[in-house]
Amino acid sequence: MREETVAERYAQAVLEAAHEAQDEERIAQDLLFLSQLSQKLPEFLALLDHPRIELRVKEKVLQEVEKHVHPYTFNLLRLLIRHGRTRIIPELVGAYFKALEKVGGPVHVLVRTAQPLSPEAQDQLRARLQTALGREVTLEEEVVPELLAGAELVLSGRRLDASLRGRLLRLRRTLGG
């Protein structure tokens, strides 16, 4: 089965559990935390996915994460580890937000920038997006130095490229290069 399909099933299951507990937003924040953690520390997912590292060692590492996440998120992580599926976490995060968006939750926007946004810039961007979309917005930030400057926004499966790299690539195509 494709990893994307598996991620969608896990995302739907955790969304249903979160909905019953009325904790969809908390789980969403936890998943953003995990996404950011895996970006800042790629070794984290590598450690959880490594076949030679014993389950008890992986669960000991998870005890540190448990302090920061909802019990449903923690149990989801344990389940993914036991089934050897921690590599689907990035797809699972996206699938969760898509499913949450379909049931009227906030619009999830992935913001890719060359350098981290300040908290003030994040708040301004969130406010402008909420005004434009007429819905609540959650931001997930990803730092991609190759963009050079500007930003890429990914929302509802669409990519809006306002980066310097994107502009240079469009100029190159226009000039026939």
Query: Could you report the per-residue pLDDT of 41-86, keeping only the tens digit for each?
Result: 888 888 888 888 888 888 888 888 788 889 998 898 888 888 888 8
Rounded to the nearest angstrom, the gap between the alpha carbon of residue 115 and the centroid of all alpha carbons in its chain is 18
Bridge partners, residue 142, by sequence: 112
Determine how many CB atoms are found less than 10 A away from the CB of residue 31. Answer: 27
Query: How far is the C-alpha of 131 from the C-alpha of 142, rounded, in Å?
Result: 22
- Domain spanning 106-177: CATH 3.40.30: yes
Six-digit token string for 155? 């929302």
Q: Which CATH number fits domain 1-105: 2.40.10.120, 3.30.300.30, 1.10.520.20, 3.40.50.2300?
A: 1.10.520.20
Domain ranges of the chain: 1-105, 106-177
Cβ partners under 8 Å of residue 39, min gap 6: 142, 143
Query: Could you report the per-residue pLDDT of 126-168, keeping only the tens digit for each?
Result: 998 888 888 888 888 888 888 788 888 887 767 777 777 777 7
pLDDT recorded at residue 175: 81
Q: What is the pTM of this model?
A: 0.69
> What DSSP character marks residue 159?
E
Q: What share of the chain has pLDDT > 70, as a percent? A: 97
Query: Could you report the per-residue pLDDT of 38-53, keeping only the tens digit for each?
Result: 878 888 888 888 888 8
